[in-house]
Structure 1
């Protein structure tokens, strides 16, 4: 044991405790960023499900297509919204709905302040709540599958 102690006394690390903490922080941030990416991927799947609903499966019809286009999500991570984390895929009609949905989601994102990843789902048209109140699914029912989808994506990492 004394030989081991003597050998250890000559050991001098080439890193500081701050280097060690920075390395741990970088690793943790990498895990958070990967989880945030999967959060966003699950959100995209929910948006696609909500947009694909038809009257036949408790969805709603399309007159102007604005409501369907206003359904989307965005990811806030580290208090930032990157363009690649905004998901409002435009359809052939109802382009104003896309603009309104993105604007509404950005407005909600301003309320996020702690830096944690937050996924925001919206149906941006002001009459979305009315359509939901008629027992038609705009986004609420589709969003119930989010947890299952997210868990599947996280388990693939």
Structure 2
């Protein structure tokens, strides 16, 4: 004789439901991180207060999202102005990929200005990505707070 309740589902059905739930959650996480990355590049490209003659610095601004060390999304585009925009795009993507691949646990969003002189341009008082980083972090934090309040 059995005591207790009789399940209305099998273990396999329950496992499939959890996998479906996890897949949906991961899809939402990717969309969330992409929105943060897009906020980062929008602000960085718009508010860059430096004169970018070659186009390399603005072209090196972008982001990569990796999951468990594998790139799953990215956005690097060449600047509209400049004489050599390809180098910046290449260096920015390479730097972001390098950083993202060193992170092997779950998702990571890496936003960069990939030219080696980006920090010295900011040190001279020009805006490159510091403000964009701050606004991206605020956007992600506020969005997460909003989601957790709803739960």
**Alignment TM-score, normalising by the size of structure 1:** 0.77
User: 1:12/1:42 Cα in 2 relative to 1: closer, same or farther (>3 Å)?
Assistant: closer
Distance 2:70 2:20 in 1: 18
1:132 paired residue among 102, 122, 126: 122
2:109 paired residue among 119, 128, 153: 119
1:33-79 superposed Cα distances (whole Å, 9 cap, x missing partner): 3123211112112111101124xxxx211111101110110101243
1:90: which partner in 2?
78
**Which 5+ residue runs of structure 1 have no aligned equivalent?**
none
1:104 paired residue among 95, 98, 113: 95
Distance 2:100 2:36 in 1: 18
2:58: which partner in 1?
68
Q: Is the 8 A contact 2:55 2:78 kept in 1?
A: no
Distance 2:60 2:54 in 1: 11
User: 1:22/1:62 Cα in 2 relative to 1: closer, same or farther (>3 Å)?
Assistant: same
SS at match of 2:53: coil
1:89-115 superposed Cα distances (whole Å, 9 cap, x missing partner): 22234121001111111111120111x
Distance 1:67 1:53 in 2: 13
Distance 2:123 2:137 in 1: 23
Q: How does 1:11-22 map to 2 (within 5 A)?
A: 11=6, 13-16=8-11, 19-22=13-16
User: 1:108/1:12 Cα in 2 relative to 1: closer, same or farther (>3 Å)?
Assistant: closer
**Which 5+ residue runs of structure 2 have no aligned equivalent?**
none
**Alignment TM-score, normalising by the size of structure 2:** 0.79
